[in-house]
Amino acid sequence: MTTRLAFAPVKRSLLASALLGYRRRLALLAGVLFVFALGLLWLEPAAVPDLAHGNVAGIKALTRSWAKGDMIVLVRHVERCDRSNAVCLGPADGITDRARDVAVSIGAQFEHLGLAHTDIYNSPMTRTAQTAGYMFSKVSSGDDWLFNCKNSMLHDVLAHKVSGRNLVLVTHSECMDQLEKDLKLATPTLGYGASVFVSTDTLNGAPKMLGLIEASDWRSVNLKL
């Protein structure tokens, strides 16, 4: 009886040591997982800001850069007819009839900003040419780099940017995605007529993403700030 009682404290000590070791391993594992999660967040591309819905600071930066001629804007063509059940405005590879008013209303926003010092280009596709025509009442002959843009979008954009002049490019979602990738940003899903704004009004002139405005969100934007 005495011998059995003598071993009881030893067993409790071993159990306590085992529990302590288990807790330490759990704490270590939790720490490793926490650091790993932080690393994933750090490596994840930054999101493109929304310039609508009361983003006063973003709109002020946009209008300031525009006034200086330091703005690059990529606009996605409006609704394409061959992916819609709506009535076409001309050829099937063009835009829908109902999208014409969308293009006109977006163009009016740029007219409000002022187009006196702005260069406008569009891709050669029918849908971008029609969009540009209803936005700005002018269509370029079509620039292939605004359609075949894989891996070269940022380079081509900067090559066409003239100092002191804004640059508006009517293009496609894949080209806008490529520019965002080139700027190491996440690529949001952009709707028809979405506009992405990039400023060169920086210390070294490097392009900086200001944000995006969807076609339906212009009503919430106050350009008079």
Q: In CATH, what number is assigned to the domain containing residue 155?
A: 3.40.50.1240
Mean pLDDT, residues 209-219 taken together:
97
108 with 178, same domain: the answer is yes
* In contact, 97 and 88? CB cutoff 8 Å: yes
Mean pLDDT, residues 52-66 taken together:
96
pLDDT of residue 116: 96
**Confidence grade of residue 43 (pLDDT, cut at 50, 70, 90):** low
140 with 205, same domain: the answer is yes
pLDDT of residue 176: 97
pLDDT of residue 145: 96
* Full-model pTM: 0.81
134 with 193, same domain: the answer is yes
How remote is the C-alpha of 167 from its chain's centroid? Answer: 17
How remote is the C-alpha of 162 from its chain's centroid? Answer: 23
CA 93 → CA 89, 116, 125, 128, 134, distances in Å? 9, 31, 8, 10, 16
**Confidence grade of residue 41 (pLDDT, cut at 50, 70, 90):** very low
Residue 139 phi, psi dihedral angles, 5° rounding: -135, 130
18 with 77, same domain: the answer is no
The verdict on residue 225 lying in a domain is: no
Task: Cite the DSSP H helix spans in the chain.
Answer: 2-43, 56-68, 99-113, 126-136, 153-160, 173-182
Residue 1 tokens, joined: 């009886």
pLDDT of residue 39: 45
Count: domains in the chain: 2
Task: Residue 115: give the domain boundaries.
Answer: 56-220
Which residue in the block uniquely carries the two structure tokens 């076409």?
Answer: 88
95 with 40, same domain: the answer is no
pLDDT of residue 10: 61
d(CA 104, CA 133): 9
Helix, coil or strand: residue 70: coil
pLDDT of residue 173: 97
The verdict on residue 51 lying in a domain is: no
Residue 102 tokens, joined: 């969308």
Query: In terms of Cα–Cα distance, which of 195, 199, 169 is closest to 64?
Result: 199
Residue 117 neighbours by CB under 8 Å, 6+ apart: 69, 164, 165, 166
Identify the DSSP state of 83: G
pLDDT in tens, 174-201: 999 999 999 999 999 999 999 999 999 9
26 or 190, which is more confident?
A: 190
Query: In terms of Cα–Cα distance, which of 176, 208, 184 is closest to 64?
Result: 208
pLDDT in tens, 94-126: 999 999 999 999 999 999 999 999 999 999 999
* In contact, 191 and 216? CB cutoff 8 Å: yes
34 with 80, same domain: the answer is no
The verdict on residue 213 lying in a domain is: yes
pLDDT of residue 38: 46
SS3 content of the chain, % helix, strand, coil (to 5): 50, 15, 35
14 with 66, same domain: the answer is no
169 or 2, which is more confident?
A: 169
pLDDT of residue 11: 61
186 with 163, same domain: the answer is yes
**Confidence grade of residue 224 (pLDDT, cut at 50, 70, 90):** confident
Mean pLDDT rounded to a whole number for the chain: 89
d(CA 100, CA 131): 7
Q: Out of 32-41, 123-132, 154-163, which region has the weakest mean confidence (pLDDT)? A: 32-41
137 or 8, which is more confident?
A: 137
